[in-house]
Amino acid sequence: MSQKVNIFSNRYNLTEDIKKIVINELKKHDFVINEEYDETADFNIVIGGDGTFIKAIHDSNFSEIPFIGINTGHLGFYNDVKHTDVLDAIEKIRNKDFIEIDLRVIDCIVNTDNDKHIFKSINELVLKTKYTEAIHFDLFVDDVLLQKFAGDGIIFSTPSGSTAYNLSAGGAILFQNIDAFQITPLAPIRSTLHRSLDKSLIVPKDTIIKLITSKPEESYFAFGVDGLHKEIEHINNIEIKLSDKRIKKIIFDKNWFWKNITEKFIM
């Protein structure tokens, strides 16, 4: 029986060139190609940069079909197959010569006066005020009040998102499929009035984080959900945890993560 492949891509010239090569090679081996999402497909192939990979996850509603990333962008953490290696990658797909790993997802529930908003994130959730003043909230970890936070904002990142905004903000790099997530403050205020943590905190998979706003006038937050901007008013509390949902990713080299770290940040 022919295998089905969903193709996701951006519109850059290099991407279009590599996409033609990928489609032609797959068709030679009787793969059925879908350029619109088909939930019965065997693989999701993403051609572009890491932003294209993240968009494909959201556009497919966090599909359970394994993702394969071909890099025609810059950094290439999610899209780790070099565009010069696509023929070799397709051959390995045909021969089932690959490793499937799970990437963790963050669930976020925002409770307002009149509604509930639910978000999922494969990379990070960023919380700031809409305006330029400091953000204030009580941060609970498993019902224990950890701190009364004041500062520019806070980042909640998945392990796979730890090398993005989180790293730029001084957070740690986490191995991409570890069962944990990270809380990284943005310009926290430390004074006689405020004792906000000024370092990242890595918490295990079953941890539930709850943020409670202390003043109604400070309950208008701006969210960045994997780079998508959202504004929500009249927030009472926010709950954040690792999701039961996981994203399946295909890799072809067991040492891919360490090679990525070396090539992207050290060499």
Query: What does the pLDDT read at residue 191?
Result: 79
pTM of the full structure:
0.92
Q: In terms of pLDDT, which residue wins out, 22 or 234? A: 22
Residue 177 contacts residue 101 (beta carbons within 8 Å): yes
Catalytic residue among 17, 38, 50, 102: 50
107 has binding-site annotation: no
Domain 4-98+252-266 classification at class level:
alpha beta
Tell whether residue 165 is among the known ligand binding residues: yes
The CATH code that applies to domain 105-244 is 2.60.200.30
Is 115 annotated to bind ligand? no
Same fold for the domain at 4-98+252-266 and the one at 105-244? no
Query: Quick check: is 50 catalytic?
Result: yes
Instruction: Evaluate whether 26 touches 7 at the Cβ level (below 8 Å).
Output: no
Domain residue ranges in the chain: 4-98+252-266, 105-244
pLDDT tens, residue by residue, 200-223: 999 999 999 999 986 655 557 788
Mean pLDDT (whole number) for 180-208:
90
Query: What pLDDT, on the 0 to 100 scale, is given for residue 112?
Result: 87
Q: How far apart are CA 168 and CA 189, in angstroms?
A: 18
Helix (H, G, I), strand (E, B) or coil at 8: strand
